């Protein structure tokens, strides 16, 4: 097995008295396997040598969870495939826009406590190509499953995407994650606040995500610290790149979905949303 969790019977077999004694344990480090060198290079390129993914998938070690992780690995991995009762909220999409270079544009679709599918991502697309891709996703989605909001990071290139989506009639809204947080006495910026809203979502243990290894790695990668005034600040993309980590584009798209409000339609509003009847007033 791969040591992906810091709990459960496999963890106990290596760490807990009363279980350890029942098993003969063999540890394989992929660095010692000549045929695994291509696999190792792929993991380094996608996730970085210092990532938990490298630790688990290459070194064969259990992941580390430190007090400085914005979202602990174990909280995220425990949500994969969890059997839960889905909440009745309208979906919301998060869109993190990149252009050229190593970064990628990413689209996340969340409905309440469910991440609906693995994230979509594209590289080397200009703004109008990104708009076309999002419009295509919208058209391919059943009316009842279309989002109440498409939340787009407008720092950088996102503003043009928001304007065009809105012009086309889609419910796009720009989010400047560099702005002051709504809980300004706890967080330095809105970006820090939505990352910790996402952390709370996982910590409630009433959510489910697909087995999206890239997303899991990115969500667990950023650390956080405190400003001199005691406010939380989550590690920036630039700082992550400086320590050899890839840009968390997938994670940022998912975290953007927490910049909107929850929208639980009443039965009447749901019927209107489905187009079954019109308001006569």
Give yes or no for residue 198 having a pLDDT over 50.
yes
Model pLDDT for residues 120-174, shown as the tens digit of each residue: 999 989 999 999 999 999 999 999 899 999 999 998 788 999 999 999 999 999 9
> Distance between alpha carbon 232 and the CA centroid of its chain, in Å?
19
Give yes or no for residue 278 having a pLDDT over 50.
no
Task: State the pTM of this model.
Answer: 0.76
Give yes or no for residue 279 having a pLDDT over 90.
no
Q: Report the candidate in 59, 125, 96, 61 with the shortest Cα–Cα distance to residue 215.
A: 96
Query: Helices 190-203 and 249-256 meet at what angle, rounded to 10?
Result: 80
Name the most confidently modeled range: 6-15, 81-90, 193-202, 220-229: 193-202
- The answer to whether the CB of 234 falls within 8 A of the CB of 222 is yes
Give yes or no for residue 241 having a pLDDT over 90.
no
- The answer to whether the CB of 105 falls within 8 A of the CB of 121 is yes
């Amino acid at each position: 097995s791969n040591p992906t969790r810091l709990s459960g019977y496999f963890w106990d077999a290596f760490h807990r008295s009363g279980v350890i004694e029942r098993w003969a344990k063999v540890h394989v480090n992929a660095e010692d396997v000549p045929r695994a060198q291509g696999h190792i290079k792929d993991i380094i390129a996608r996730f970085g040598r210092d990532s938990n993914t490298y630790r688990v998938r290459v070194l064969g070690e259990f992941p580390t969870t430190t007090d400085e992780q914005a979202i602990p690995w174990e909280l995220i991995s425990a949500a994969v495939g969890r059997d839960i009762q889905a909440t009745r909220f309208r979906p919301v999409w998060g869109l993190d826009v990149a252009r050229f270079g190593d970064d990628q544009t990413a689209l996340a679709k969340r409905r309440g406590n469910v991440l609906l599918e693995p994230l979509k991502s594209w590289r080397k697309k200009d703004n109008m190509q990104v708009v076309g891709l999002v419009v295509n996703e919208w058209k391919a989605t059943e009316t009842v499953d279309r989002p109440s909001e498409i939340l787009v990071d407008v720092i950088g290139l996102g503003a043009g995407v928001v304007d065009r989506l809105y012009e086309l009639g889609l419910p796009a809204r720009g989010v400047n994650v560099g702005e002051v947080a709504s809980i300004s006495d706890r967080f330095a910026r809105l970006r820090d606040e939505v990352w910790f809203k996402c952390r709370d979502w996982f910590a409630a243990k009433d959510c489910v995500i697909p087995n999206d290894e890239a997303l899991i790695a990115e969500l667990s990668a950023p650390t956080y610290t405190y400003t001199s005034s005691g406010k939380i600040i989550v590690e920036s993309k630039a700082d992550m790149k400086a320590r050899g980590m890839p840009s968390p584009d997938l994670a940022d798209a998912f975290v953007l979905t927490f910049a909107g409000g929850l929208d639980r339609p009443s039965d009447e509003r749901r019927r209107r949303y489905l187009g079954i009847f019109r308001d006569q007033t």
